[in-house]
Amino acid sequence: MEDMVYTNKVQTAVFPTEIFDLVIDDLAAAENRKDLLACSLVSKSFHFRVKHHLFATLQLLGGPQFQSEYNRKQKGWLQTLLNLLGETDRLGTAGTVQTLVLGNIFKDVAQLFRPCWLLMDPTVPSILQRLSGVRKFVFKNVIRTIRWGSFSEELSSSILRLCASPSLTSLELQNITRLPYNLLPCSSNLESLSLIYTAIVWKPTEEDFILFPPNFELVSLKNLRNLSITIGAPFTNSEAECRLVLPNLCQMLRIDKSYSSPIEVLNITIGYEILFDCDDNGSIDAPNSRSRLDDLDAVLSNPKFSHLKTVNLNIACKRLGQSLDPKLQKHIQLHAENILPDLRSMSSITFSMKLTDYVF
């Protein structure tokens, strides 16, 4: 009998790459960074997918200068990040950052007058200049309003460059005033814009409540579909000062040219103290209160806002962690149902109104 030769072959199961991608995406959705890092070491194919999740969101947040030990560690991390995003970025990390959050992490009013070291660090502009493909940029600034002119030339140039990127589709600016005229018009593909003004202005002048220069029109942004505005004063009693923001906003929304506004969804969160004159007993001066939004009502009910489909009005009723008296909330609810009458009467617009808290 002829000798029989057996050849043992190890068969390797071949799985579609889509299965591995789904596993990695599921880990990313659960924000399990430890397991994601482990996946990145399995193979090159795993690493490529994981990399897009690990660096999808980059947060550069700094505290006040007195936290010296913490700040030293953070500065070291910034330098490491800059090296990672440097000219020898063979992994293409810079191109995977989709969301960039820049700003401060001040927690309370006691830190109001302490500058944020991060916004003065020369490493930050260098990092911003290396990022390409950012789709969403958030400037987070909770406590104290910052004037654009207080930024270094390098930082302001880097932010302008980010906003000019054709990849940018979403922008959120919190408590920055005196913004330059060319900040938004260069964002030709901007689809979503959020403007938040809720902080303290040190020794304010009326110019501090001018969001953009005169004659600037938000409606000139051809692709803008979603506009969110938050106005209020949860950290201060400067209600009268904050009321100066609303007229400036109305001015920006006016349409003097032949084209219509592309805005489809408008979200407004406004502090009750901006809308209503309330006494200690919870009584409200209704006529005077309603007049606060009359101008905005007239602007938005203009036929040139024909694309506007949804308006969500939130009235913020919480300050410094303390909820309002239930009696006052009831009065606010009652009178809030009578504001923006022209806008409410438009059958083409879905209008919703609710009481809420400030969210940062």
In this structure, are 74 and 29 located in the same domain? Answer: no
pLDDT at residue 103 in the model: 87
pLDDT at residue 65 in the model: 62
In this structure, are 304 and 334 located in the same domain? Answer: yes
Query: Is 181 among the domain residues?
Result: no
In this structure, are 249 and 354 located in the same domain? Answer: yes
Query: Is 310 among the domain residues?
Result: yes
Query: Is 179 among the domain residues?
Result: no
> Strand pairing of 170-174 and 146-147?
unpaired
Tokens of 70: 């913490």
Query: Is 151 among the domain residues?
Result: yes
Long-range pairs of 26-31 with CB within 8 A, sequence gap ≥ 24: 27/53, 28/53, 28/56
Residue ending a domain, among 109, 140, 170, is 170
Cα–Cα–Cα angle for 49, 52, 56, rounded to 5 degrees = 155
Query: Is 87 among the domain residues?
Result: yes
H or E, element range at 323: strand 322-323
Query: Is 228 among the domain residues?
Result: yes
Q: Which domain holds residue 96?
A: 61-170
Query: Is 216 among the domain residues?
Result: yes
In this structure, are 236 and 346 located in the same domain? Answer: yes
In this structure, are 71 and 211 located in the same domain? Answer: no
Number of domains in the chain: 3
Q: What distance in Å separates the CA atoms of residue 147 and residue 244, rounded to the nearest whole number?
A: 16
pLDDT at residue 128 in the model: 92
In this structure, are 81 and 40 located in the same domain? Answer: no
In this structure, are 296 and 196 located in the same domain? Answer: yes
In this structure, are 311 and 345 located in the same domain? Answer: yes
Residue ending a domain, among 140, 170, 200, is 170
List the alpha helices (DSSP H) in the chain. 17-29, 33-40, 44-54, 68-84, 123-130, 153-164, 239-242, 245-253, 272-275, 286-290, 294-300, 326-336, 341-344
In this structure, are 65 and 45 located in the same domain? Answer: no
pLDDT at residue 336 in the model: 80
Query: Is 345 among the domain residues?
Result: yes
In this structure, are 303 and 351 located in the same domain? Answer: yes
pLDDT at residue 242 in the model: 61
Contact 346, 306 (CB under 8 A): no
Q: How deeply is 152 buried, as exposed, middle or buried, from its count of CB atoms within 10 A (0-12, 13-18, 19+)?
A: middle
In this structure, are 96 and 164 located in the same domain? Answer: yes
Mean pLDDT by 10 residues, the chain (360 residues): 51 64 72 73 71 81 68 79 72 78 72 71 91 91 80 93 91 87 78 82 65 73 90 60 73 80 90 73 65 83 91 76 70 80 90 75
Residue ending a domain, among 170, 205, 236, is 170
Q: How many CB atoms within 10 Å of residue 136? A: 17
Q: What distance in Å separates the CA atoms of residue 333 and residue 321, rounded to the nearest whole number?
A: 20
In this structure, are 150 and 212 located in the same domain? Answer: no
